[in-house]
Structure 1
Amino acid sequence: MQTNTFSINRMRRRVIVNQVFKYIFIFSMSLALLALALLIYRILNQGLGSLNIDFLRQFPAPYPEKAGLFAGIMGSLYLMFLIAPISITIGVSTALYLEEYAAKNKFTRFIQINVQNLAGVPSIVFGLLGLTFFVYLFSLGYTLIAGALTMSLLILPVIVVASQEAIRAVPEDIRAASIAMGATKWQTIWRIVLPASIPGILTGSILALSRAIGETAPLIIVGAAAAIYTIPDSLTSKYTAMPIQIYNWTTRPQEEWQYLAGAGIIVLLIILLLMNSIAIWIRNKFQSRY
């Protein structure tokens, strides 16, 4: 009888604790959503009035009524065209080696732990790394290729981890069946493992690229221009990016520049939402393939 009473009391305490934490989580989520809603309202209220076609096709100017985001948009696109092949190629190759070829020993586990830790390192650290190696050591200067290589380093750990998870999710039976049919290890990887893991790899890569397109600190460190009146025409050209222009506008005291910054943030948010939506669509479409 006492045991039953004790069990009932313990169950009641668990139910009460569960309800308390449930309401704590609901309250925390509500605060986060409220802050996000206020932030979006402030941005829309400031930026919608300045968002028009002239704003999208004009270069920076000394006067807010003539300033535009065109150089930043083109600079960000050029960066993405360079960052994507560099980071995805190296990231997926690293993940394939760690999952398919590397021996499962302490050294491999040490590498994997450090790759996962690098995914959480502050972005400004990668900016300092890029400044040291690409700008000074390799003498690339404050150029487009130096910025692209630095941003590739920033998102590389994220792509490696996402690609590892996608490759690991491919059932071992499929690999064994391919080997049993006479395929080599590389043929199995190329024809079976990679096609099956591409949805997860693409999802992680797109989310990593969406992080890169919104970063400011590394680009400031490696010398992205705050205002530039041309678009890059080579890998060694000067460049700017949307976050850099937005940051430059927010530092100016005149209220008109704040409205331009709000309009720039809206454009950047639209691009980020599109990239994240594509990643979610890919995940939902192919996640039940196996």
Structure 2
Amino acid sequence: MTTTTNPRGPSSADVRAELTRRRFRPAETAFKLALQACLAIGLAFLVALLAFAVTKGWHRLDARLWENMPTGRVSRAGEAGVQSAIWGTVWVISLTAAICLPTGVLAAIYLEEYADNTRWYNRLLELNIQNLAGVPSIVFGILGLGLIARVIGLGFTVATAAVVLSLLVLPTVIIASREAIRAVPQSIRHASYALGATRWQTVSRQVLPAAVPGIATGSILALSRAIGEAAPLILLGAVTFIRFNPDSLLSAYTTLPIQIYNLIKEPQAEFQELAAAAIVLMLVVLLAMNSIAIFVRNRFTKRW
């Protein structure tokens, strides 16, 4: 029995039938619908949270929020703000970034470009970094309370909070930076070496610029996690009622999550409205940081 083939190739009807058969894949369609449902659920919760917070704190979303200090008196709650918490957050997060970002990026460079993976101490270091990424934040708070605040003697200050938050997000920065460096094609390194560049020249002038999008994205997301942490700071003295802005690394402090935690415990409606307005402010800051990460990633991706 012989079969005949069309010398001109498949007809348009055959092509349409094949495309229809390929498009109709029940498992793939179900998986796609499940992903879309997860995205819709996440967006729905975010929109609901924003709507609730904006509606409840609408009357306090004005200059009073960042110009005035908090108060413990109900009679003055209508004019209270969260200025000390805003500046405390700025101090803590700025010092956290100054500590964890250079340390994390340099550690990632060492592990990816210089470390010998056959050495036991390098393997142990990688294992510990992976494990630390999953440690609950309250454990870091206990570590900071026992070691940094009491043994080292920094006390309940901005410096203690920044060091603890740096330890908390450092594994995330290292892992994100390593993945970004690992994603740089080996051909870039080989071409640099072929032109006579040293390892450091290759890393600093070729690898790092190409890895900036991933490093920036991971770093800002790590800082976004740090800015919303409250559990470790509860153990480090941030619960204290503060009516002044920090002026040094050894000053007492409070942060926006802690201030919101203190306000939400009060039964008066005025404090509840102020807490809702502070929540909106913190969400705006987090969304702004994530937008910066997306902008940096897109800008450097187009360049490279």
- TM-score w.r.t. the length of structure 2 is 0.85
Question: Where does residue 61 of structure 1 map in the other structure?
Answer: 71
Give the equivalent residue in structure 2 for 1:192: 206
Corresponding residue to 2:52 among 20, 27, 42 = 42
What number of residue pairs does the alignment pair up? Answer: 279
Does residue 104 in structure 1 map to residue 114 in structure 2? no
1:274 corresponds to: 288
Q: Give, in whole Å, the separation in 2 of the partners of 1:165 and 1:77.
A: 28
Deviation (angstroms), 1:99: 0.6
Query: 1:27 Cα shift?
Result: 4.0
Asked whether the 8 Å contact 1:167–1:193 carries over to 2, the reply is yes
Stretches of 4+ moved more than 6 A in 1?
none
Aligned to 2:94: 81
Pairwise CA distance, 1:212: 0.8
Q: CA deviation at 1:236?
A: 0.9
Distance in structure 2 (CA, Å) of the matches to 1:221 and 1:81: 20
Which among 246, 264, 277 is matched to residue 232 of structure 1? 246
Structure 1 unaligned blocks of 5 or more: 1-10
Correspondent of 1:172 among 158, 161, 186: 186
User: What CA distance in whole angstroms lies between the structure 1 residues aligned with 2:45 and 2:197?
Assistant: 55
Asked whether the 8 Å contact 1:225–1:238 carries over to 2, the reply is no
State the alpha-carbon separation in 1 of the partners of residues 198 and 27 from structure 2: 55
Give the corresponding residue for 2:85: 72
The amino acid of 1:158's aligned partner reads T
Distance verdict in 2 for CA 1:181–1:116, change over 3 Å:
same
- The residue type equivalent to 1:232 in the other structure is P
Counterpart residue number, 2:223: 209
Q: CA deviation at 1:74?
A: 0.5
For residues 26 and 211 of structure 1, what CA distance do their matches in structure 2 show? 25
Query: Cα deviations across residues 18-51 of structure 1 (Å, max 9, x unaligned)?
Result: 4444444444444433333222211111111111
1:179–1:185 CA contact under 8 A, matched in 2: yes
Cα deviation, 1:130-158, whole Å, max 9, x if unaligned, reads 11221112111101100010010111011
Q: Which amino acid is the alignment partner of residue 140 of structure 1?
A: L
- 1:141-179 per-residue CA deviation (whole Å, 9 max, x = no partner) reads 101100010010111011001110111122222222222
The 2-side partners of 1:185 and 1:218 are apart by 40
Counterpart residue identity of residue 258, structure 1: Q
Which entry has the higher C-alpha Rg, 1 or 2?
2
Cα RMSD (Å) of the superposition? 2.1
What amino acid does structure 1 have at the position aligned with 2:103? I
Contact 2:212–2:300 (8 Å) recurs in 1: no
Helix, strand or coil for the counterpart of 1:287? helix
Return the letter of the residue paired with 1:59.
Answer: M
Residue in structure 1 matched with residue 13 of structure 2 by the alignment: none
The 3 A distance-change label for structure 1 pair 173 and 227 is same
Contact 2:181–2:211 under 8 Å retained in 1:
yes
Following superposition, the deviation at residue 86 of structure 1 comes to: 0.5
| Structure 1 position 112, deviation (Å) | 2.2
Alpha-carbon distance change, 16 to 202 in structure 1, aligned in 2, over 3 angstroms: closer
Q: Does structure 1 residue 140 correspond to structure 2 residue 154?
A: yes
Matched-pair contact (CA < 8 Å) for 2:239–2:262: no
The 3-state SS of whatever aligns with 2:128 is: helix
Give the superposition deviation at 1:273: 0.6
Greater Cα shift, 262-271 or 50-59: 50-59
Unaligned runs of 5+ in 2: 1-20
- Scaled by the length of structure 1, the TM-score of the pair is 0.89
Among residues 265, 269, 274, which one is paired with 1:260 in the alignment? 274
2: distance between equivalents of 1:19 and 1:92? Answer: 40
